[in-house]
Amino acid sequence: MKETNRQIVLASRPQGKVSSANFRLVESAVPEVKEGQVLVRNHFLSVDPYMRGRMDDSKSYAASQELDAVMGGGTVGVVLESRNPAFKTGQSVVGMLGWQLYGISDGSTLRVIDTTHIPMPAYLGVVGMPGATAWYGLNQIIAPKAGQTVVVSAASGAVGSVVGQLASRHGCRAVGIAGGEEKCRAVVEEFGFDACVDYKAGNLYKDLKAATPEGIDGLFENVGGDCFDSALARMNPFGRVALCGLIAGYDGQEIALRNVRSILMNRLLVKGFIVSDHLEMWPKALGEIGMLVATGALKYRETVAQGLEAAPEAFMGLLSGRNFGKQVVKLI
């Protein structure tokens, strides 16, 4: 094959904030397809907060990203050539082929997708890992009941926006926390939350108290720091906390809590979770969410960066909150 594969590799490990110097664009030959393998032309790649943790050489739930290796991550694309009987040329697939134009796979990490009613990039977001994360944390940890209040930090993001909509479908009062008037407006008007608190307004606890007059029964925490601390102070007895992410501390910032005594006094259930530990739940989760998306009952947003070269900047923007909804990079 005459085409050249272009890839973005991890050039160095970040010291504090991620910078463009931590990445390098390289070119290589498109790999030959061997028996049992599939060659995919990636159309979109995903950038996600968890990637920041993998860039460090430290103990975590997943192996560190290797230096000088293609940045790992989710992709959707089309099968160009298959020597694997489970896949056919022309099929759309989702997988983990990383930040590159072409990917080769033995098929174990690929899944055929139907783009008739669900657009291809949605399989990286609302009908992908973020959607499964939202579904699992809400249903399996928070276990919402009608009439309860569920608070979601990073409510305009790929995970948070789904959590609030699903909570509303359970009959809960959904309250978001987001950054800026525009995002808060969309959280309420577009995603259907009952209220949204702008943490950038400088009155986080006061505004959260006003938005949760009956306290908080369930907290879906994506951020940590002041958002988590303020919500802990509003928790009701026997409340449940699904601890999904701590993006406020991903670049090394302090995320200490002042209101930790609320965990004991209110007998809270606080459970951290990684959705890849619960793959057995994904078919049910994505089946339900996929139906809602296909019928227009669940709304989502995407921020789309153009071209492989834009991936590092898109990733840095994600970590600083510049994206709206799911951040993807369009490759074709």
Q: Whole-model pTM?
A: 0.92
For residue 254, is pLDDT > 90? no
Q: Which CATH class is domain 4-125+301-330?
A: alpha beta
For residue range 185-237, list pLDDT tens digits in order.
999 999 999 999 999 999 999 999 999 999 999 999 999 999 999 999 999 99
Query: Among 49-53, 196-200, 247-251, which stretch is predicted with the lowest mean pLDDT?
Result: 247-251
Domain range annotation of the chain: 4-125+301-330, 129-276
β-strand pairing of 269-272 with 235-243: parallel
- Provide the 8-state DSSP code for 320: T
- Fold (topology level) of 129-276: Rossmann fold (3.40.50)
Query: Among 58-72, 254-268, 318-332, which stretch is predicted with the lowest mean pLDDT?
Result: 58-72
pLDDT at 1: 47
- For tokens 């209110």, the residue is 266
pLDDT at 3: 79
When pLDDT is averaged across residues 32-40 and rounded to a whole number, the result is: 97
What residues contact residue 219 under an 8 Å CB cut-off, 6+ apart? 142, 150, 151, 152, 153, 228, 231, 232, 235, 239, 240, 241, 242
Give CB contacts under 8 A, 24+ apart, made by 17-23. Answer: 17/251, 17/316, 17/319, 18/52, 18/55, 18/251, 18/312, 18/315, 18/316, 18/319, 19/316, 20/312, 20/313, 20/316, 22/55, 22/312, 23/71, 23/311, 23/312
pLDDT at 252: 63
For residue 280, is pLDDT > 50? yes
pLDDT at 240: 98
